[in-house]
Amino acid sequence: MFDSGLGGLTVLSAVRWSIDATDVVYFADTAHVPYGDRTLEEVSGFARRIIAYLMEREPAMIAIACGTTCSAFDKLGWPDIGVPLLGLVGPGARSAVEATRSGAIGVVATNATAKSGVFDRAIRAERADAVVTSIGAPALVPIVERGDWATDDASAAVATCCEPFVRASCDTVVLGCTHFPHLTKWFREALGPGVRIIDPGEAVGRDAAKILSELEPQSGAIDFEVSGDPVAFAKSASILLRAEVNAKGRDLS
């Protein structure tokens, strides 16, 4: 699986929650984070290079632990890799439609994802009368990447981006960027107990488990590879996963 940085760890946790006897290679493209401020063409290019690299490891599947990459592939085409390539948008949209009562659904994502309208289309394909409020929150990914997820700044930034959802009386909000479940505490605080918060990674975890449970159980080893600074990544990842993480640097350019 891969992401631009620490965000995909939320998907990794969901996959490992559903099935632990599986080996994982996690690639973090921190040399290019944040993806959300780049063009979808650029993001698709990075992602295709990472997928080609991961395919050398002969995986049973690849999970795209990055909403922005899913938006890019939705617009520019999905690579055909011969093994399942799991995305977040369909599972996130389905979970949101199952959860909502009123049909007023919020989506908070990167600018690139919000602008692409990918979640809006997927939600309306599941429920035609849904009213979707979609916003880009570019401040949040750098907060997580800096390791500031537990700070007052994080709380204030999340509160600001939740204002449109409160005004639109959304009863369900999708975290359409995988970095954002690291900030769930603040989303809960800002949105209140009546609003369902959807982390699409949880449904991806269940989908992955269905595929992986057919295979021989493995040791459960996780290899972390990082295109930027492996030490900085490992430090934050160790805190977020509550486990010792070692990461190797890997330049794909």
4 binds ligand DGL (CB under 6 A): yes
> CA-based angle 52:56:4, to the nearest 5?
45
What's the CA gap between 70 and 248, in Å, rounded? 25
Minimum CB separation of residue 156 from ligand DGL in Å reads 20
Among 34, 59, 106, 230, binds ligand DGL (CB under 6 A): 34
| 207 bridge partner residues | none
Sites for ligand DGL among residues 137-176 (CB under 6 A): 141
Are the C-beta atoms of residues 116 and 74 closer than 8 Å to each other?
yes
Query: Is-catalytic flag, 177?
Result: yes
User: Does 7 engage in binding with ligand DGL (CB under 6 A)?
Assistant: yes
Is residue 162 among the annotated active site residues? Answer: no
Q: Answer yes or no: are the C-beta atoms of 12 and 88 closer than 8 Å.
A: no
Residue 103 or 142: the one with the smaller Cβ distance to ligand DGL is 142
| Helix/strand/coil for 28 | strand
Chosen residue from 22, 110, 134, 236 binding ligand DGL by CB under 6 A: 110
Q: Is residue 10 part of the contact set for ligand DGL (CB under 6 A)?
A: no
Closest approach of ligand DGL to the CB of residue 231, in Å: 20
Regarding 177 and contact with ligand DGL (CB under 6 A), the answer is yes
Question: Helices 89-99 and 118-126: crossing angle, nearest 10°?
Answer: 50
Helix 184-191 × helix 152-167 angle, to 10° = 40
Q: Which is nearer to ligand DGL, 32 or 250 (CB)?
A: 32
The closest of 64, 165, 186 to 118, measured between CA atoms, is 64
Catalytic annotation, pick one of 66, 70, 162, 170? 66
Question: By CB under 6 A, is residue 86 in contact with ligand DGL?
Answer: no
Contacts with ligand DGL: how many residues (CB under 6 A)? Answer: 16
Residues designated as active site:
66, 177
Residues that bind ligand DGL (CB under 6 A): 3-4, 7, 33-36, 66-68, 110, 113, 141, 177-179
